[in-house]
A and B are shown apart, each in its own frame.
Chain A
Amino acid sequence: MTDYTDTELMISRAAQELQNGDTTLVGVGVPNLACNLAKRTHAPDLEMIYESGTIDSNPSKLPLSIGDPVLATNARSIVPMIQGFGYYLQAGRIDVGFLGGAQIDRYGNINSTVIGDYDDPKVRLPGSGGACEIASNTHRTIIITPHTKRRFPEEVDFVTSPGYIDGGTSREELGLRGGPDAVITDKAVMRFDDDGEMYVESVHPDVTEGTVQEATDWELQFADDVTETRTPEQAEIDLIRNDLDPDGVYTE
């Protein structure tokens, strides 16, 4: 029986969402570990692009930010932001984007800007960065976040990154590409139905459907056949602990 933490399960499960040959826009932390894990296992031809403009990075060690010099050394190319966001992202050359956030609603709209009123905030968060354009211009996005009622409210305080807007065809009508494909939390994996609404596809071992509902502020939909989430293999855990994050910066 492989021993793993919640974060390690999320990393390993997120890695499964990536296919060999995908081009992905990587965020620092858990998404970075998921991408590097995929690249060292089933997706050696994964192309990793970072917001800072590094194209096909091959980091020799864990990058500490998305502008880390290890992402530049040995990259295929380094471009100014105007080209990374314009020629690559806006032009549709990036398959998968990773997003996180303080709040996410049933249609996958994400808030990473502000808690409370925009003009008189309770908590001022860092803001969009590239998240708004990643959500708008990649072919699919994967959302990784801890699962709590506060993070899964009925309505987000601010839409930083559009998901399926109000559901139905509202995203398509706005001319936005792609959309959220999966939400991976420390309790479950969720996907989106034809109406753009989130539903639970699998729950993690030792987590019940009730626990997932309890941590969500709206009445969640569940798939007819909710399965148990795939757990990490020993080889994946070894890679994460020995190679990708040996100091446990993001996994402890």
Chain B
Amino acid sequence: MTTETDMETAISMAIEDGQTLYLGGFTHLIPFAAGHEIIRQGVEDLTLARATPDLIYDQLIAAGCASSVIFSWAGNPGVGSLRAFRRAVEDGVPNEIAIDEYSHFGLVSRLAAGAQDLPFLPLRTFVGSDYPEHNDSIRFVDNPFGDQPGEIPVVPPLNPDVAIVRAQRADAEGSAQMWGITGEMVEAAFAADTVVLSVEEIVDNDVIRSDPNRTLIPGTIVDYVVEEPYGSHPSYAQGYYDRDNEAYLDWDRQTETHESTQEWLDEWVYGVENRAEYLEKLETKRFVDLQPQTSYGTPIDMGEY
């Protein structure tokens, strides 16, 4: 049963200390509003999983919410490194974090195994690399069907306690349509025990059913649905707004020290009550600059039978 609610309620109902969380997206549709709410609620000891931890994971780490990260590429996309993540790994500031590291395909395969309830999935990655030596979750099994190859790397399932994913639109039951880059969001949603879905807009059920191929996450696996316009800023939502690249560059400068990072969190996370207040703080001109021109897909005809 899906509950339509606000972000504060969804996070307080779904998230507890010590859980494994996936906060979705590959550069696109990053759930920043949800991440900020987790920080405000002071959740601790989280294991954060995603192929591409970016600014929101850096913010959660700087705020002391995380004790572990499962990942395959930890960087500020197109800009450089994640300074808070590095401070935690290199210097234990603000606390030590454990890392569990894969390649992209390795991590995505873990989520796909989790989504399908499989004990492992094989992949042609890691052979000849140093990863298996440092990660006991990358193992080799004999090929039962021949010797090409004789053995193959396997990775175990990853089933997050909670997946928080964003989409452009969903109906009130949480059936979500997304377009543009989807990364590993759908696998993560199917792998997770609880799904929090946050969308740019809630639409009528008729809109969703008019184009069923686009419905990548069904409401049957969604527990909470939240309408949160601009909930992915400063990342983007294809067709709605562009990435706010200035914010990514600012983050690189702002996070030079743990103290300067805290100042940012004080102003933009602790200093606002919710996403609406965060958006009010941003200059209007920024939103105008982020608006793309329209580029509509041609409607398809499903046929009436």
Contact = CB atoms under 8 A, between A and B. Distances in A.
A and B assemble together: yes
Given A28-B78, A126-B73, A128-B104, A162 B128 contact: yes
Interface residues of A, number: 52
Interface in B264-294: 292
Contacts of A67: 26-28, 52, 77, 181, 183
A136 to B, nearest CB: 6
Contact of B180 (A69, A113, A174): A69
Nearest to A63: B78
Interface stretch (B31-39, B105-113, B223-231): B105-113
Interface in B139-175: 148-149
B238 interface: yes
Contacts of B127: 136, 162, 174-176
A218 interface: no
B103 A130 contact: yes
A82 B103 CA distance: 12
A207 interface: no
A64 B130 contact: no
B105 A85 contact: yes
Interface residues on B, range: 35 or more
Contacts of B90: 121-124
B89 A133 contact: no
A165 interface: yes
Contacts of B129: 128, 132, 159-162
A127 B82 CA distance: 12
Interface string B286-305: 00000010010000000000
Given A52-B183, A123-B90, A124-B90, A133 B105 contact: yes
A26 B129 CA distance: 21
Contacts of A119: 134
A184 B82 CA distance: 27
A136 B78 contact: no
B102 A128 contact: yes
A69 B245 contact: no
Interface string B33-76: 00000000000000000011000000000000000000111110
Interface in A18-73: 28, 51-54, 63-69, 71-73
B123 interface: yes
B254 interface: no
Interface in B180-239: 180-184, 186-187, 236, 238
B51, B75, B180, B186 — most chain A CB neighbours (10 Å): B180
A129 interface: yes
A236 to B, nearest CB: 24
Contacts of B51: 81, 129
Interface in B115-135: 123-131, 134
Contact of A85 (B77, B104, B130, B242): B104
A168 interface: no
B243 interface: yes
A132 B105 CA distance: 9
Contact of A90 (B72, B102, B124, B182): B124
A65 B78 contact: yes
A10 interface: no
Nearest to A156: B130
Contacts of B238: 69, 72-73
B72 A73 contact: no
Contacts of B74: 124, 126-127
B258 interface: no
A136 B128 contact: yes
A49 B62 CA distance: 34
Given A85-B104, A86-B105, A132 B183 contact: no
Contacts of B112: 82
Contacts of B106: 132
Contacts of B124: 90, 133, 136-137, 175
Given A53-B182, A81-B26, A132 B187 contact: no
A105 B292 CA distance: 44
Given A124-B89, A130-B105, A68 B243 contact: yes
25 contacts: A28-B77, A64-B78, A65-B78, A69-B180, A69-B236, A69-B243, A80-B186, A81-B26, A81-B104, A81-B105, A85-B105, A123-B86, A128-B72, A128-B131, A129-B51, A129-B73, A132-B126, A133-B125, A136-B124, A136-B125, A160-B131, A162-B128, A162-B129, A174-B127, A175-B149
Interface of B: 26-28, 51-52, 71-75, 77-78, 81-82, 85-86, 89-90, 101-106, 108-109, 112, 123-131, 134, 148-149, 179-184, 186-187, 236, 238, 242-243, 245, 292, 295
